[in-house]
Structure formats: C-alpha cells, structure tokens
Amino acid sequence: AMDAPLNPPPDDSISPKLLISIGIIIGTGFPIFVARIYSRVRPHYKLSWDDYSIILAQACSIAGYALIVMACKYGLGRRGMYVSTQDNTKLWYYHFAQVPLWYCGLAFMRISVASLLLRLKSSRAWKSVLWVIILSQIVLAVFAVFWTIFFCLPVPLKWQDSPVTRKCRPAKQMENFGIAYTAINVTVDLVLSLIPITFVWRLRRPLLERVVVGLLMSMGLAATAAAVIRLSHKMFYSDPDPLRSIVMGTLWCKLEEVIGITAASIPYLKSVTEEVLQR
C-alpha cells in the first residue's frame, strides 16, 4: 500500500466549475431552442431538416450533460487518492459514455446550420460547399465515434481497473486526431459564420437590422473560440491527477457544443419577437 502523504491535500472537488458553467448555458439556451421550435410549428407546421438536426443535437447535449453529472457524482473532479476503485470504474464509464454523444451533438448542430443556409442560398457554388460540409460532418462524426470506442481493446477495460492488459493505440495518435478534428471543425464554423454575412449585406433592410442579424448569425464564432481554447488547453495544460485534469477539457468541450446549439437557434427568434410585438 502507498504511504499516505504527511500533509494530504483536501478532499475537495472542482466539478462545480464544470456543472454550474454548463448548466447556466443550457438553462439560457433551452428556452431559446424551445422558442425556435415553437416558431416553426405555430401557426403552421413547417419543421425542416435544420429543425430535426437541432432537436437531435439538443437531445445529445442534454443526455451528455446528465452522464457528466453522474461522473461527477462518483468522483470526477476530486483527487484520485480519495476515490474508491468501484467509484473510479463508474465515473470513467459515465465519462466515456458521453463522448460519442458529444461528437454527434456537434455534428447535428453544424448540419442544422448548413441545412438552414441551404434553404436561404440559391447560388450553385454555395450549395455545393454546404453539401460538402453536411457530408463531411456525417463522416467525421461516425469516424470519431468508432475511433473513440475502439481506441483501446477490449473496450470495457477503458473504465475498469483490471489486471488484464488492454491494447491501446499510441497516445500521440489520439492527440493528432484531436488536432485534425478541431482544425476541420474550426474551418467549418468559420465558413458557416461568414456565409450569412455575405448575403445579409445585400438585404434591403435598415442598417441596424442587418448589423444585428449579422452579429446573431456570427455568434457561432463563440463556439469556435471554445474549440480553439479546448485544443490549446489539451496541448499545454496537465494536472498530474487525471480526475481533475479532465474537468477543464470536458468543460471546454461542452461549452463549444452548448454555445453552438444556442447560436444555431438565435436567428429564428426574429419571428418570435415580431409575433410578441404584434400582439
């Protein structure tokens, strides 16, 4: 048995940082999402692919958050020396289970934005770009999910403390995949945020309204910023205790997702706002 340190660090947890930050954005974003869906079903039912995609993104996001809550319940964010082997197995199981949901949530969110722009854009060149984005998101999500699940074999040993040795690919491969994944999606986010600005300026609307619409639609850039911070955090920050070091990485992952989902619903609020004002 390991000797206990003479001055053991406190048995505290940094998980509230994660749960409260994400909880606040989900709490703010969910009513915006509901208002968006409401504006698409009342007074006429006109749900389209962009709406179905964002519903799936929101479902993945909330289910993923619930799994993170469970991981924190069993000790994510605490110091490993205070977490029992049994709890350690459970928390890694829940944390591992939310990763595929995160990949899918991000893909559905970007597919939703691209589908909306497909409806608004008429030029053939732009339509081709948007279709490439949609297809690349599907391929990337499927690859990322399989890559994550089968990175170590046998799969259950990912979260179990077992004497059986598991075979994992080199950690460098995972790091390279993370960099490539983020680079592709940051590029996609920039394209999706900048496309609307190109045609908002051509609208025959008052300048203020065009500025507001442009700003709302480029709010997706906040999600891009979260992705860049997530990557730099992964590359330059490490806590010797994995239960604590993974918390900030998870925080930036979820922020990228929940901000993106909220940003994707904001342009629809214009019709909701107009309806309220007309009453």
Give backbone dihedrals phi and psi of 73, rounded to 5 degrees, phi first: -60, -35
Q: How far is CA 132 from CA 111, 114, 137, in A?
A: 10, 10, 9
Q: Average pLDDT of 28-49?
A: 92
Average pLDDT, the chain: 86
Within-domain flag for 2: no
The candidate with the shortest Cα–Cα distance to 59, out of 259, 255, 192, 258, is: 258
- Banded pLDDT at 131 (limits 50, 70, 90): very high
Within-domain flag for 100: yes
Within-domain flag for 87: yes
pLDDT in tens, 142-200: 999 999 998 888 777 667 766 567 788 888 898 899 889 999 999 998 888 888 777 66
Choose between 7 and 114: higher pLDDT: 114
- Banded pLDDT at 241 (limits 50, 70, 90): confident
- Per-residue pLDDT at 112 exceeds 90: yes
Cα 153–157–162 angle (5° rounding)? Answer: 130
Within-domain flag for 4: no
pLDDT in tens, 46-58: 999 999 999 999 9
Q: How far apart are CA 210 and CA 189, in angstroms?
A: 20
Within-domain flag for 5: no
Within-domain flag for 187: yes
What's the structural domain count of the chain? Answer: 1
- Banded pLDDT at 1 (limits 50, 70, 90): very low
* 3-state SS, residue 201: coil
What string of H, E and C letters represents the secondary structure of 134-174?
Answer: HHHHHHHHHHHHHHHHCCEECHHHHCCCCCCCCEECCHHHH
Total number of residues shown for the chain: 279
pLDDT in tens, 216-240: 666 778 888 888 888 887 777 666 8
Q: Would you say the C-alpha torsion 203, 209, 212, 216 has a positive or negative sign?
A: negative
Q: How far is CA 256 from CA 91, 191, 239, in A?
A: 22, 16, 22
| Lowest mean pLDDT across 39-53, 205-219, 257-271 | 205-219
Query: Which burial class, exposed, middle or buried, applies to 171 when counting CB atoms under 10 A from its CB (0-12, 13-18, 19+)?
Result: exposed
Contact 246, 13 (CB under 8 A): no
**Residue 250: domain span:** 15-270
pLDDT at 184: 94
The candidate with the shortest Cα–Cα distance to 121, out of 191, 206, 52, 188, is: 191
Residue 29 identity (one-letter amino acid): G
pLDDT at 196: 75
pLDDT at 116: 87
Within-domain flag for 7: no
* 3-state SS, residue 153: strand
Within-domain flag for 3: no
Q: How far apart are CA 243 and CA 138, in angstroms?
A: 31
| Ramachandran class of 233: left when φ > 0, alpha when ψ lies in -120 to 50, beta otherwise | alpha
Q: What is the CATH number of the domain that holds 45?
A: 1.20.1070
CB atoms within 10 A of CB 276: 10
pLDDT at 36: 92
Q: Which residues have C-beta within 8 Å of that of residue 69, sequence separation ≥ 6?
A: 19
Q: How far apart are CA 58 and CA 261, in angstroms?
A: 7
